[in-house]
Amino acid sequence: MDTVEIFDTTLRDGEQSPGFSMNVEEKRRLARQLEELGVDVLEAGFPIASPGDLEAVRAVARTVRHCRVAALARAKQVDVDAALRALESAAHPRLHVFLATSDLHLHYKLRMSRDEALDAIVGMVSYGRERCPEVEFSAEDASRTDVDFLCAVMAAAAEAGATILNIPDTTGYSIPEEYGQLFHRVRQRLGRAEGITLSAHCHNDLGLAVANSLAAVRAGARQVECTINGIGERAGNASLEEIVVALAVRQASFNAHTNICLEKIYPTSRLLSAITGVSVPPNKAVVGANAFAHEAGIHQDGIIKNPLTYEIIAPEAVGVPARRLVLGKHSGRNALRLRLKELGYEVSDDELAECYQQVMALADQTKEITDRSLLATVHKVKRRRGAAAVVAEDAPACT
C-alpha cells in the first residue's frame, strides 16, 4: 500500500487568507501541533514577503525537528536566497520554487514568454538544488496551462534537480476527471523517472478541492498539499482533515494511506480556531460541531442501536470527545430515554410519553432542548405522577 505524504500549508497559504494572520509565537505553537499530527512536510511561510515572515520561517525551522520544513520562493534569486537563509537551521529543509505557467499569467502578470519562463525555472531550481538537498517545483495555475507546455516545464524542472513536482489548481477551476488526467499526462511525459513525486495542490473555488485532490491520488499523486480546516485564499484550500479521513475510510478503494495521527485532527483544528479566533462552520466535515451530532429521531434510534448505521467513522477516531444526540423537534423517544438515563433518571413508558409530549411542545418554541429544561420536565412529571399515586392510594374503596 502506497503512502500519500501530507504537505501542510496552513502556515503559508492558509495564513494568506484574510483574518488568519499569525505572529511568530503562534506559528511556532501551531507548528509543534502539526508535527504531532504527523504531517510529512510543513510549509512555514514565504520569507521574501516580509522580515516578519522570514523570521517566522526561521523560528519554525528551529522548532520542528522531525518533519520537513519548506519555504516558498518565486523563481527569482532574491526569493531563493531569502528562503535558504530562513531554512538554515532546519533539520530537514525543503526549498519550494514556483512560477506561473499559464499563458494568462505569463502574458498579463509576468510579461514573460514561455521560453523565458522555462529559463527562469531551470535556472532557479538548479541554483536551489546546489544549496538545498530537496527542491520542489510548482507550476502556478497548472490547471489552466497548455498541457504540452506543462509537461515540458515539469520535465525541465525534474532535469534541473526538482524531485517533487506540484501541479496546482490555483484558481479552483478544475474538475476531478480532468485534474486526474493532467497527472496521467505529466507522468506519461516523465516516463519512469525514479525519485520523482507528483503533488496536488487544490483550491476550493468550486467546492471541489478535496474531490480534485483525491482524483490526483487515484492518478498517481503521492503528495497532497492542504490546510487545517481548509483555510486559504478566497474559498480556501483542500481540507487536510477531509482528505486524510477519506483515505482512511476508503483505504481499500485508494490502496493508499497517510502518516497522520487521526486522533490529533480535532485538537489541531480547535487550536487553529483558538489562535485565529475564527470558528469552524458547524456543518464542516469531520471537525464541525455537527459532524457527529444527530437530531432526527430515525438517525438517533439507529445510532443508539449501532453507531455504524449513520457514522462512517467513530468520533473518537479523529479526536472528537463524543457524539451528540441533540434533542429538538425532530428527536425520538429512544434518544430522550437515553439522555434522561445519562442524567440519572429511569422513567417508565408512561412517564417517557408525558416527558416526550412536553419536550416536543418546548422544542417547537426553541432550537435545542437543554439539560436544564429536561431536568425541569422530568421533575415535574415525576412529582405529578407521584402525587397522583398518593391520591389514588388514599381514595375510599367502593362499596
pLDDT digits (tens, 9 = 90+) for 220-245: 999 999 999 999 999 999 999 999 99
Q: Is residue 281 part of a domain?
A: no
Q: How sure is the predictor about 116, in pLDDT bands with cuts at 50, 70 and 90?
A: very high
Assess whether 356 and 223 both reside in one domain: no
Q: How sure is the predictor about 49, in pLDDT bands with cuts at 50, 70 and 90?
A: very high
pLDDT at 396: 53
pLDDT at 394: 52
Q: Is residue 282 part of a domain?
A: no
Assess whether 178 and 299 both reside in one domain: no
DSSP letter string, 172-230: S---HHHHHHHHHHHHHHH-S-TT-EEEEEEB-TTS-HHHHHHHHHHTT--EEEEBGGG
Number of domains composing the chain: 2
Assess whether 248 and 200 both reside in one domain: yes
Mean pLDDT on 255-271 = 98
Summarised one tens digit per residue, pLDDT across range 281-293 is 999 999 999 999 9
Assess whether 327 and 227 both reside in one domain: no
Q: How sure is the predictor about 392, in pLDDT bands with cuts at 50, 70 and 90?
A: very low
- What mean pLDDT is reported for the chain? 95
pLDDT at 397: 54
Q: Is residue 201 part of a domain?
A: yes
Assess whether 309 and 268 both reside in one domain: no
pLDDT at 385: 77
Mean pLDDT on 347-359 = 94
Q: Is residue 53 part of a domain?
A: yes
Q: Is residue 284 part of a domain?
A: no
Assess whether 89 and 29 both reside in one domain: yes
Domain boundary among 243, 276, 309: 276
Q: Is residue 283 part of a domain?
A: no
Q: Is residue 285 part of a domain?
A: no
Q: Give residue 336's domain range.
A: 293-391
Mean pLDDT on 174-179 = 98
Q: How sure is the predictor about 192, in pLDDT bands with cuts at 50, 70 and 90?
A: confident
Summarised one tens digit per residue, pLDDT across range 300-322 is 999 999 999 999 999 999 999 99
Assess whether 312 and 265 both reside in one domain: no
Assess whether 209 and 328 both reside in one domain: no
Domain boundary among 244, 276, 308: 276
Mean pLDDT on 76-88 = 98
Summarised one tens digit per residue, pLDDT across range 207-222 is 999 999 999 999 999 9
Is the per-residue pLDDT at 388 higher than 60? no
pLDDT at 391: 44
User: In terms of Cα–Cα distance, which of 94, 196, 100 is closest to 139?
Assistant: 100
Q: How sure is the predictor about 364, in pLDDT bands with cuts at 50, 70 and 90?
A: confident
Map residue 2 onto helix, strand or coil.
Answer: strand
**Roughly how many angstroms between the first and final C-alpha of the chain, as a whole number?**
84
Cell of 100: 506561473
Q: Is residue 399 part of a domain?
A: no
Q: How sure is the predictor about 272, in pLDDT bands with cuts at 50, 70 and 90?
A: very high
Assess whether 265 and 208 both reside in one domain: yes
Mean pLDDT on 359-387 = 88
Calculate the alpha carbon distances from 125 to 61, 94, 118, 161 in Å.
21, 12, 11, 6
DSSP letter string, 222-290: -EEEEBGGG--STT-B-BHHHHHHHHHHTHHHHTEE----GGGHHHHHHHHHHHH--PPPTT-TTTSTT
Summarised one tens digit per residue, pLDDT across range 329-339 is 899 999 999 99
Summarised one tens digit per residue, pLDDT across range 58-69 is 999 999 999 999
Domain boundary among 276, 308, 332: 276
Q: How sure is the predictor about 398, in pLDDT bands with cuts at 50, 70 and 90?
A: low
336 in Cβ contact with 345 (< 8 Å):
no
Assess whether 206 and 324 both reside in one domain: no
Cell of 167: 501541479
What CATH code is carried by the domain that includes residue 112?
Answer: 3.20.20.70
pLDDT at 348: 94
Assess whether 239 and 267 both reside in one domain: yes
Mean pLDDT on 30-57 = 97
Mean pLDDT on 232-259 = 97
Assess whether 267 and 183 both reside in one domain: yes
